[in-house]
Every structure is written in C-alpha cells, then in structure tokens.
Chain A
Amino acid sequence: MSFPIDEMDDIINDFLAESGEALEQLDQKFIELEKNPGDLTLLNDIFRSVHTIKGAAGFLGFQQTVDVTHVTEDVLNKLRKSEMAVNPVIMDAILQSVDMIKVLLRNIKEKNNRVEDTSHVVAALANVLNGSAEMPAPQAPSAELKPQEQEAPRQAKPDETAGVKEKEQSIRVDIDRLDSVLNLAGELVLSRNRLMRLGSKLTESNSESELSSHLNEAISQLDLVTSDLQLAVMKMRMQPIAKVFNKFPRMVRDLARQTQKEIELAISGEETELDKTVIEEIGDPLVHLIRNSVDHGMETPEERVAKGKPRCGTVSLSAYQEGRHIIVSVADDGKGIDPNAIKKSAMEKGLISADEAEKMSNKEAFNLIFIPGFSTAKEVSSISGRGVGMDVVKTNITKINGSISIDSEIGKGTKIIFSLPLTLAIIQALTVETGGEIYGIPLATVIENIRVTPSEIKTIDGKEVISMRDHVYPVMRLGQLVSGCTNDTESEWKYIVIIGIGEKKFGLLVDRLHGQEEIVMKSMGEYLKGTVGIAGACINGDGNVILVLDMSGLLESLNKLCYC
C-alpha cells in the first residue's frame, strides 16, 4: 500500500473497530435472515453495513476488501429487490465472504501485507449472481417449523432496536482510564475503612462529645457515597454477555451443516452483564461446550424422530444473575450422558477402581469427565473428541474463580452450568493465620474448614494426611509451604482448610481462621511479580497489607517438591 500508514494509523484503527463491530452484528443478522428470508428491513440493514465497510475500505485503499464487499453487496442488492430468494447455498456464499472480509481486516490490523486468495469467494458469489446456484429442492423441515419461527424474530426485534439506541448514547473510553478510576475508587474505600475505624475508636473514648457524633454522621455519609461510587465504577467495566453469545448462532449453524444435524440455538439472558475480563475468559470454554453438545450430545434428525423427539434439536444458552454470581448454562435436549459408560471408561483407563465405581453417584461420575485425558467419544471428529478439553474448560473457569457442574439424564439431554463471579477485581477471601502472619485464600478454592487436634493428623509413607468422611486428603502445613520453616505454634486445636483446585483436593493446615472478607486485589508491582504462590495483595481495614495466596501455584511448586 502506498499510503503513509503511520499518519493514517488512527483512521485505520477507527475503521477496524467499526467494521469489526459491524461484522459481529452481521453474523447474527444473517442467521436471523435465514430463518426469516422475507424480512426487508433486516436485508436493508445488512446491505447498509456491508456498504459502509466497502465505502471506508475504498477510501483507505484496501482493494481486496473492496472487491469482496462489492460482489457481496451486489448479491444483497438482488435479494433486497426480491430478484432472488434467500436459500442456504446463497447464505453459505455470503457467510464465506463475510469470513473472508474478517480475514482481510485482520491482515490490515496486523499490517502483514498478506494477499489472500479471494477468487473462490468472489467466484461463488458471482455464480449466485448468475443464478446458477438455485436451490435444488426446498427443505421439508423449514416448512414444518415456520409457525414457531415467525414468533421468534418478533420477540428478538425490540431488543435489538433497544441495543442500537444504547450504542448511539455511548462513548469509547480507553480501558486503562477505566482501570485507573477503579483503582482510585478502591483507594477511597480503604481510606473510608480507616476513617470508620478511627471514628468508632473516638466514640469509644469519649462518647459524649458532640463532635464525635457529627464526625460519625459524616463518615456514614462518606460510607454510602463510596460504596455507590465503587459500584458505579464496577458497572462501567461491565459488558453484556451478548458480546460472547452473539458469535454462537453462526457457529451452531455451521456445525449443524457440517454434521448434518438440525439444531436450533435458543439464547436467553444475553443482556446479563459481566466484568470485561470475565467475558474475555469464558468465550473459549463456551465454544468448547457448544461444540460438544452439537457433535456428541445431539442425535441425527432420523434418530431423533425415531425416539419421538422433535426433528430439530435445541441447544440453549442462558445467563442470569444469582446474588453475587452470574450463572451461565449450556443445555441440549440430546442423548444425555450415560454415567455407567463414563464409569466403565474411567475404569478401563485405570482412573478409578471397580469398587469406587460401584459407590459413585451419577453426579460424581459426570465429574470424571473433567479429569485430564478423559473422553468417551468413540470416534475423534474434526470438531471434538480428542480427550483434551473438558479439563481445560474446568481449569479456565477455576482460574477466574468460577465453578462448573453437570446435570444430565439419558435420552433427555445434558446441562452444564457455570457459576461465575461478577468481577475479578473484588473477590471473597478466607483469611487465615499461620506463624503470626495473615494470609487470604480465594474463597472459590475453599471447600470446607475443619477443626482437628494434632493427633488426628496421620502419616502415610512419611506424608501427613487427614481422613474425613471416608476420604483421605494430603495435608500441607501453610507455614512450611510459604516460608519453608516449621515453627508451628503449639496449640490444642488446629484448623484444616480443604482446598479444591480442579479435581485435586488437599488440606491446608493453619493456626487460626480469621473470617471471610471481601477484598480488592492489588498487584505487588513489577518487582515482586511472579513470586510463586502469591496471587497478589490486598489492604485490610487498618491499612495493613495481607498477601493473597495463589493456591494452584502453591500446589504446583509442592508437586515439584514431592517428585523431584
């Protein structure tokens, strides 16, 4: 490109951001269009988006993008004027071109000057234009499902117009600026906490004073305002989960065509809001689960009819808020998971014994699929079944302090449920004391706390263990883990915190339990970043620093100690 790219960087970045957003919505709209081929407003909408991209690309001299958008626009124009009717072949060609546009835009973003081979995309669209891609025969199921489908778009529409209106009233803000506001709000909360403590101390020492009651009034006012401020700032970082959900209709459509199944994706609660970081982290796990549902969970249309189920399967994706958590679930009405098949497979792989399998509840059996290397799929397909995945899903979800559970019934379907924190900046932590130091443990990793006498801790092969309700957990002394010293204080009672990381569980021996606290995580700065076993620090009410433990890091370093 002969353009002075440096000077144009800003313009190009704006173009990329806008086109990217437009393309994201396009996928959604195309799927809707396929369901509802006669919708002219929708067609016009799509046409305008593509036209805008073409115009901007032309102005900036991205010839390849212009070429592809140009033919796409021609096809859309014909559809718009009802010179052609929408059919799956045309849709495939258009969707392919949208994909190609995405690739081209990415190339522009990476400035790699790569030239893509766009000829097949352009050719496919040209074929459509020439009318040589007429649909061979109308598909039977689409006629069957019409009555249902007509209702769906009507419901979806008001939502969408509302979304458009919101967008017009928003501004783009650099994420760094938001973060710095969040930090400042966090600091304000800490100052408030200190003031509150000082205030209550003052009241204790001279309760009569008018001044102290005025002060306390002012402090409670400050308390209210800072809490509101913090909430408001957190909300600024929130994004609707629709950002992730939007890419799935397209994915499910493609997967269904690939596997020759008929699948409808039902989405609900896409307006539920989550912290930006959480949104970024759940995309991949969801992709994985939906692939699993479509590939393994769903039967072929023939099988479904034979079982007396509707021909078209449904995968539903939903999100809603429950207290301080967001619940996201992926459910299908496919064949469900057979707990016995899982047990058998786990036994064959030597993961559990026959005795254990006997005792295991269905729910426990489902959890076996999170063990690394476990996959019940009989065949490996291009979509899924390589035995990696579910453990990765679990690890990713645990990483953002979420939890995951499975519910399934043979013949009825499977439901996988995530419980995610609203935000990563504020976490619930259990504070414990050992060797005179206080540490925070993220509550998401804590299963339960027990009180023991030192004699209850047994040793097996020189390693300490605790037996509880027929389970034996290895026991680690926190004091030893964090500093390598064993200066445990002598006391009658000890406390063991049972920690669960993925499928691994172990007990952590501490001197005392302090309580549950809501903490604002802070990094310890560049210099101490990467200290093994420490996730970060937080500042408690009286201004002292408390270290927050990174349990998976500790566990890893511990494994090294054991096996080296």
Chain B
Amino acid sequence: MASRFWVTGGTGNWNDTSNWSATSGGASGASVPGSADTAAFDASSGAGTAMLDISPTIQTLTCTGFTGTLAFGTNTISLNSTGTIFTGATTMTVTGTPLIICTNSSATSRTITPGAVTEANSISFRITAGTGSLALTAGSFRDIDFTDGTNPTGFAGTVTNTAITIYGNFKASTGMTRTAGASAYTFAATSGTKTINTAGVTFDNPFTFNGVGGTWQLQAALTSGATRTCTLTNGTLDLASYTLTTGIFSSTNSNVRTLAFGTGKIVVTGTNGTSWTTATSTGLTMTGTRTVELTGNGLAGETRAINSGSTSAGGSAANAANFYIKAGVDTISLGTISRAIGTVDFTGFSGSTLVNTTPVIYGDLVLSTGMTVTAGTGVWTFAATTSQTITTNGKTLDFPVTFDGIGGTWTMQDALTLGSTRTLTLTNGTLRLKNGTTSTVGSFATSGTNPKFLTSTTFGSQATISATTGTFVVNYLTVQDSIATGGATWDALAITNVDAGNNTGWLFSTTPSIGNEITMRLRSFTQPRRF
C-alpha cells in the first residue's frame, strides 16, 4: 500500500502523475493512487482544482486541511478499505455530482467523517457492501445510499448511533440495522424533493426535518421508536401514502412548513408525556388525511398530551389533525387552552380525559364505551363549518358544550347527555339530535344573532330534549321535529325564532310557522298573458 498526496498548486487531473507525490508537499511524479493506495489532499495541496477525469478506486481518502476543489464531474471515487475510509474538510469545495462508493465487503468496521460541510459542498455516499459496523460521524452528507445501486440489498452491517445531517436522499438496504439511540438524523435540504426509503428497517432514533424550501417524501414506511421524536421545523414532509411511526411528533414554531399526509398517516406510540405538539401552528399547513393514531398503551396514572394548535397561535380547521386514540388506560389531555382539533375518536381507549380540557373540535367526536369522560368546567366547542357526527356511546358530557360553526351541522349518532349543571349553547350551525332518543341537558341556551337550528336526525321524526328545571329563553333559533320536556320551560317566544313544524313543548309566539307561509311568485312580464 502506498500513500499518495495531491501536490499540484493549480488545476490538474486525477489521472496524472504530475499531480501526485509520495509525501505531503513533496515532489510530484509519483504514481496515480490505485486500488491498493490511499489518497490525501491537505494544506500542502494548494487551493487548486483536482479534476476527476476517471473514476478511481483507492483504499481511503483524506481531505484534512485541503482548501481547494474536488471536481467530480460525473465520475465517482470508490473506497475499498476499512477503518476511517473518508475524512472530509469544511475548507474544501466540491463540484459536479460528488459520489463516493464504499465497497469493502468484510465485517471490519468503517468510519466516514465528512465534517460539518455545507449543503453545497456535501458529498453523497453509497455503501454497497459489508457486514461490519459503520460509523457516520457527526457531519453532513448529501445522499446516503446503503444499497448496491441496483438491488435493495447492499450494506448488511450496523450503522452506529451518531447524529448526522442529510442534504439529499436517504436509502436503506433491506439487510442493514441501525443502533438505537438518541442521536438524530436531520434532513436539511433547502430545495427540491428528497426521498426517504427505509426499506423496512427500523430507525430507532429521532428524525428532524429542517430545511427552508426543502421537501422530503417517503417512499416507504418510516418507523422509529416510542421514545423518539419526529420534528418538522421547516419545509415540507410528505408522507405520500405511507405510515410514519414515531414516539412523539413535534412541529411547534412559526416557520412556514407543511405536513402533507397524502393518503398516509402518522402513528404515535409514545406514552406518558406529550405525544403530539403543534401548539404553535402559525405557518403550518396540513394536507391529505391528517390521520394521527395514538397507539401507545398508556398506563393508569400516566398522561398523554395532544397539544394541537392553540387557536391563539395559528391553530385552525385548516391545520387541525384528526386523532384516533386506539389504546391505553391513561389520561388524555386535549389541552387546557383552546386547541384546534379535527376528529377525536377514542375507540379502543379505556382511560379518561383530562379534567377541564377545552378542545375546539372541527371534526367528528367518538367516545368509547370503556372510557371515562371527566367532569369539569372546561368548554368543549364544536366549531365545524361542515357536516360532522358525534357519538357518545352513552357517556355523559359533564362539562359545558358549545356548538359554534357557521354552516356546521352536527348529527348525533345517539342521545346527547350533559351533566345536570352543564349548559348546551348553540351559537351557530345546526344541531341534529338523534330521533327517537332523549337528549338531556342541564340548561339550554342560544348565543348571538346568527340563525341556528335544532332539528332531529330524521325529518318528520321527533327527537326529545329534556331538562329538569329552568327557563331557557332562546333567540334566532329554528326548531323542527323536537319535543322539549323534562320540567324546564322552553321559551321560544321571541319573534326571531321559527317554529318549523312538528314541535312539542316549545313556547312559540303566534307568528306564522313555516308551514303556514304563503308561497309568493312574481308574475312573469316576459311571457304573454292569457286572458
């Protein structure tokens, strides 16, 4: 094995003996490094450009102290040795399509040390073989490809737990593993769409996506562990159709960023802590299914927090995810400040909700038969402006409930029961109580001057609303197919209210109901009159 040092001061071709020396800064004329040799660029190599006029195979490449340029063009460098096979430098520049191929197929460990180079000067690595450990030491990479370039196989060893930055694509091989650990993979591209293919390999480490203008698109499922956090700081994370599994998902800042679910979903497996946070949702866009499943088996005494976007910090219907809490006997917090949430579905969950949680729900609500809905004074607000459903499965909502979405319709799938001291307030929209059932409230109120509607789920079939005591004076309310009963007085005497028919127990004024309205038509002045 021979050592070769780049010594030209200016621009020169790799495959030229006049650029190589046997010693650093020594006389030129040494042979071009071959497959049994090492190559080094250092401070004595000058600030010129080394042009790859061939695709050489060498043992190792060291660039420590090099201030020149390594011009790859369309050529590659193959490194066939073990140990530290590449050492980069933040002082050097690379051009072309920089790709280094690591070909050693032994079980001996290897280390790649690229340094914290910039995106522009990052180099792509392909590790085509080997069964030993591979340390990607803290630094920056362009593409990382663990396959042989043709097949889904290639590197079959273990990548150690190190934090790295990746500016390009990421492609795992089916036979590799990655040591679990807290060192993150940070994807930091600032342009283009980069792809991530984990090939079924579990990467039990944090993932961070942080590149202004960058887009990362999954090409397969991405799975990390129950204690790991997936963070979206800047850019667009596109799940395409795939499942992203993480312990915690975090995207709470005011940067412009997009979480594109496509037809995919995020599975959050963490327990006892914040499972999801988009608390500050300013600048956050969500598209696609927005499906988030919480599958962690939280234990009694533990709490999982869903800190979706605060309505005072950018949280809205447009960036509210849909949460499906599928397991656990712990406590679920939907936040004790107003947080925008899409659908909340507790099917499969057997724990309880946090006292005084105050969600603003833009989607459906499904309570599970086995859960406890904790009483409190926190208001649950249904704020959809589209049609949604509510399934209580016999649970009492022992807290105030408000319906407030212009154009929103909430269709009860079963009886709605509020605690005996709790008020149901209808501010905007249409509440359709389940026909043939009795919904119970502590009190009933309307708010504001917009029209609002109380009907049954089935036209012509009454739904009962009941309260034991009190006088409920309503305004701007249209009532249809409703039985009001229970001992309370249901005062709809104000002329702003409308008796739309088939009502019992409501007090209306003598203004005509809709059924008595006269149909008026303008006579046509464009058609000839018949006498």
- The answer to whether A binds B is no
B-binding residues in A (CB < 8 A): none
